[in-house]
Amino acid sequence: MSAITHEHEHDHDHDHKPTGIKRWLFTTNHKDIGTMYLVFALVMFFIGGSMAMVIRLELFQPGMQFVEPQFFNQMTTVHGLIMVFGAVMPAFTGLANWMIPMMIGAPDMALPRMNNWSFWILPFAFLILLLSLFMPGGGPDFGWTFYAPLSTTYSNDSTALFVFSVHIMGISSIMGAINVIVTIWNMRAPRMTWMKMPLFVWTWFITAFLLIMVMPVLAGAVTMVLTDKYFGTSFFDAAGGGDPVLFQHIFWFFGHPEVYIMILPAFGIVSAIIPTFARKPLFGYASMVYATASIAVLSFLVWAHHMFTTGMPVFATLFFMYCTMLIAVPTGVKVFNWVATMWRGAMTFEVPMMFALAFIVLFTIGGFSGLMLAITPADFQYHDTYFVVAHFHYVLVSGAVFSIIAAAYYWLPKWTGYMYDERLGQLHFWCSLISVNLLFFPMHFVGLAGMPRRIPDYALQFADFNAFISVGGFLFGLSQLIFVWVIVKCARGGEKATAQVWEGAEGLEWQVPSPAPYHTFDTPPEVK
């Protein structure tokens, strides 16, 4: 019934919604754009994932089996770039598009046409990046961190395409971030004060500031790589008075805030899900906001913890070591707040809650390995080993990616109007949970024992562990097919979802019907 009234409504106040491909090409609707971002991220997740499968296949046994070393390096490089810029970041942007206007009671994003642009340039960026793999000499093979001189003196001509595609990704992220800030700043419903905003909105607001501060620095770094390689400058070339270590400073000045760009929205998601399924308000709301803000500020002061082995003077390593450890404090505040929220709550364990719980435990493990890496003398041993790989996959896969999956399950009924298949979802959860640990936990051990990262072969004593890790990897990859199945099934139909969907859910997005109508909050809602 409500669907009919609505169709009627926008025949009145909006000209018409084009159908077919044109609807998606020209749409300025935040929900359409959010959906496109999410679908795009999912596709990229599988493309990047298949590259990971190539990596694990090669590492299944010692010795060279399937691919050439140079191709192996291209796989690690492009896998990293795609997962960071193509999967995790667009997925968060998609969630922001869908949810932020609904959470703050706004009719749409503030700059809808720019929103369309920021999405539609993305597929081209990744098309360019992927096509560069087919160039003579191959695609980028210098790691997602593209350290000079690997990316300058020793890289092949696909580097120009790499630089171009990173520029486009950066422009897209910056436009998206500006849109988020303007929307939150100017379009909150009356009486939706700052300290009433849901934490997902808060964390995205802060993330958007991080984005506009560091994406331009990344753009600068790739530009310098480009001019060093093709136009005779010497930013990073010692022969011309430059310094390759400078590259690392510029890159990590971007790079460390970037890792927080990939985790702050996850904190927001978990802070939305835990209270719903614990049926208690979030513990320590204000401290969560302040913790997020202080993490963001501190994230600018720790970049050189990626560079302990470059021969920095002792006082500098000490400074970066202590600042890095300091970040663990606000992060710990968050973990304690989530636990306190659950304390004596009436908990139920639907799939979003399961992923959120797994997030808390596994992300914390990643935080602990981060603390170990932050200890300068210890990092001399761990740096560039599989221990680092284990660390950042715990925070990024069982952290950021799990939070995105949790968010998808949590809001799918709101998006499609149907409940997802709970049994399949639980199957997806348990398969993912077990395989992700089979995949990443043993990496700690091989890393501590000295297995270097980004190398296609390894010493014989690592063989058993690596076979084990590879099996975990294949299982994790397969488990994600269940996810696709659940999504497709849920989009096609199922049990009808109510407006509130979850018994304990609170917030404006749960006051509109499910599926959320094409236009919501054309008149601002009443905020209590």
Partner 1 sequence: MQLHRTLVSKLLLVTVLMFGFGFALVPLYDVFCEVTGINGKTSNVPATVLADGIDTSREVTIEFLARPNKDMPWIFKPEIRRLTVHPGEVHVMNYLAENPTGRMIVGQAVPSVSPGQAALYLHKIECFCFTQQQLAAGNKMLMPVQFYVDPALPAQFSTITLNYTLYDVTANWQGSAATENLGE
Chain residues in the site for ligand HEM (CB under 6 A): 145, 259, 262-263, 305-306, 324, 327-328, 331, 367, 370-371, 373-374, 379, 382-383, 388, 391-392, 395-396, 399-400
User: Least distance from C-beta 143 to ligand HEM, angstroms?
Assistant: 7
Separation between Cα atoms, residue 322 and residue 66, nearest integer Å? 44
Q: Would residue 294 show up in a list of annotated catalytic residues for this protein?
A: no
Is residue 224 within the footprint of partner 1 (CB under 8 A)? yes
227 within 8 A of 234, measured Cβ to Cβ: no
Separation between Cα atoms, residue 220 and residue 217, nearest integer Å? 5
Is residue 329 within the footprint of partner 1 (CB under 8 A)? no
Closest by Cα among 303, 162, 144, 155 to 223: 162
Q: Would residue 258 show up in a list of annotated catalytic residues for this protein?
A: yes
H or E segment at 225? Answer: helix 199-230
The listed partner (partner 1, Cu ion, ligand HEM, none) that binds 262, CB under 5 to 8 Å by sort, is ligand HEM
The listed partner (ligand HEM, partner 1, Cu ion, none) that binds 400, CB under 5 to 8 Å by sort, is ligand HEM
> For partner 1, which stretch binds (CB under 8 A), given 100-108, 174-182, 353-361, 370-378?
174-182
The residues near 224 (Cβ < 8 Å, ≥ 6 apart) are 233, 235, 236, 247, 250
User: Which listed residue (77, 292, 299, 331) is catalytic?
Assistant: 331
Q: What is residue 515's three-state secondary structure?
A: coil
User: Least distance from C-beta 243 to partner 1, angstroms?
Assistant: 7
Among 43, 53, 178, 499, binds partner 1 (CB under 8 A): 178
Q: Would residue 256 show up in a list of annotated catalytic residues for this protein?
A: yes
Per the listing, tokens 């919604």 go with 17
Separation between Cα atoms, residue 306 and residue 219, nearest integer Å? 20
Tokens linked to 337: 């707040």
User: Least distance from C-beta 31 to partner 1, angstroms?
Assistant: 20
Among 26, 66, 185, 343, binds partner 1 (CB under 8 A): 185
Residue-level length of the chain: 528
Is residue 293 within the footprint of partner 1 (CB under 8 A)? no
Q: Cα 307 to the chain's mean position, in Å?
A: 23
81 within 8 A of 144, measured Cβ to Cβ: yes
Q: Would residue 432 show up in a list of annotated catalytic residues for this protein?
A: no
Nearest residue (beta carbon) to Cu ion: 256
Report how far apart, in Å, the C-alpha atoms of 102 and of each of 99, 188, 193, 270 are. 5, 10, 15, 18
The listed partner (Cu ion, ligand HEM, partner 1, none) that binds 383, CB under 5 to 8 Å by sort, is ligand HEM
User: Which listed residue (32, 141, 258, 421) is catalytic?
Assistant: 258
Q: Would residue 334 show up in a list of annotated catalytic residues for this protein?
A: yes
Separation between Cα atoms, residue 228 and residue 160, nearest integer Å? 11
Q: Which is nearer to ligand HEM, 280 or 305 (CB)?
A: 305
Is residue 238 within the footprint of partner 1 (CB under 8 A)? yes
Half-sphere exposure for 133 (CA within 13 Å, toward CB): 16
Q: Would residue 343 show up in a list of annotated catalytic residues for this protein?
A: no
Is residue 221 within the footprint of partner 1 (CB under 8 A)? yes
Q: Which is nearer to partner 1, 201 or 215 (CB)?
A: 215
Q: Cis ω on the peptide bond leading into residue 198 (within 30° of 0)?
A: no
The listed partner (ligand HEM, Cu ion, partner 1, none) that binds 396, CB under 5 to 8 Å by sort, is ligand HEM
Instruction: Report the amino acid identity of residue 310.
Output: T
Is residue 232 within the footprint of partner 1 (CB under 8 A)? yes
User: Least distance from C-beta 161 to Cu ion, angstroms?
Assistant: 27
The listed partner (partner 1, Cu ion, ligand HEM, none) that binds 111, CB under 5 to 8 Å by sort, is partner 1
Separation between Cα atoms, residue 52 and residue 35, nearest integer Å? 25
Is residue 309 within the footprint of partner 1 (CB under 8 A)? no
Instruction: Report the amino acid identity of residue 285.
Output: Y
Tokens linked to 451: 């297995």
15 — phi, psi (to 5°)? -55, -80
Q: Which residues face 15 on adjacent strands?
A: none
Q: Which is nearer to partner 1, 182 or 482 (CB)?
A: 182
- Active site positions, annotated: 79, 108, 144, 172-173, 256, 258, 260, 271, 305-306, 331, 334, 453
Q: Which residues bind partner 1 (CB under 8 A)?
A: 110-111, 174, 178, 181-182, 185-186, 212-221, 224, 232-235, 238-243, 245-246, 249-250, 253, 311-313, 316
